[in-house]
Amino acid sequence: LGLTGTVSGHTQLLHDGRARNALEAILWHGGEAQAAQRQVLAFDAQQREALLAFLNSL
């Protein structure tokens, strides 16, 4: 995710570009990803920051 802007010329995520960052992409998900979404919502600030740092390092 960290090189998305460099590679594609934009930083929007999801198939339609509606998510501006990884957290928004997580929050927009439902269906089969809803359990994972709820887990992220239950994270404290430090856990969420660690997850987003990891995702942005990819």
Give per-residue pLDDT as tens, 1-58: 655 555 555 567 787 888 888 999 999 888 888 999 999 999 999 999 999 999 988 8
Domain ranges of the chain: 4-57
This prediction's pTM: 0.71
Whether the CA torsion 27, 29, 34, 35 is positive or negative: it is negative
Cβ within 8 Å of residue 23, ≥6 positions away: 40, 48, 52
